[in-house]
Amino acid sequence: VVVVQNASVLELKKALRRHIQLRQARQGGVQHLSWKYIWRTYHLTFAGEKLADDRKKLKEYGIRNRDEVSFIKKL
């Protein structure tokens, strides 16, 4: 997923949403995902740290080019 250098966590979430929706449309998978449910049920994490603040910049979390973020289930 590509985002600008000074993107916020919210912009990253929007880019992930667009990417997954496009991939689903191409593969003919599920047409509608409940993103409200996904964000309520999962955290985005990077290096074991939750990306909790949507207004915080990715640089502040130490995220750079080609880094991987992952989903982790909320407890």
Average confidence (pLDDT) over 1-29 = 92
H or E element, residue 49: strand 49-50
Domain 9-73 has CATH 3.10.20.90: yes
pLDDT tens figures, 17-48: 999 999 998 988 777 889 999 999 999 999 99
Q: What is the pTM of this model?
A: 0.89
Name the band, by pLDDT with cuts 50, 70 and 90, for residue 14.
very high
Domain segments of the chain as ranges: 9-73
C-alpha to C-alpha distance for 54 and 61, rounded to whole angstroms? 12
In the predicted structure, residue 13 carries a pLDDT above the cut 90: yes
Do the beta carbons of residue 69 and residue 46 sit within 8 Å?
Answer: yes
